[in-house]
């Protein structure tokens, strides 16, 4: 029996882990500072009248 694993097995594992790393952050709540920042940017613009 040939016990060689197809390359895709390892690739798959690596991608699975990559996705986990990525998801860990994506699934966090976006910190308030960013919503505040966006609101601030908008407001600034209105004030500048541009």
CB of 16 to other proteins, least distance (A): 9
CB of 47 to other proteins, least distance (A): 13
CB of 38 to other proteins, least distance (A): 7
Handedness of CA 20, 21, 22, 25 (dihedral sign): positive
For other proteins, the binding residues (CB under 8 A) are: 3-5, 7, 9-11, 13-15, 17-28, 30-31, 33-35, 37-38, 41-42, 50
Tokens of 27: 């699934």
């Amino acid at each position: 029996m040939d016990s060689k694993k197809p390359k895709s097995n390892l690739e798959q594992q690596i991608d699975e882990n990559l996705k986990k790393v990525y998801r860990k952050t994506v699934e966090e709540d976006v910190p308030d500072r960013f919503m505040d920042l966006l609101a601030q940017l908008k407001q600034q613009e209105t004030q500048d009248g541009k």
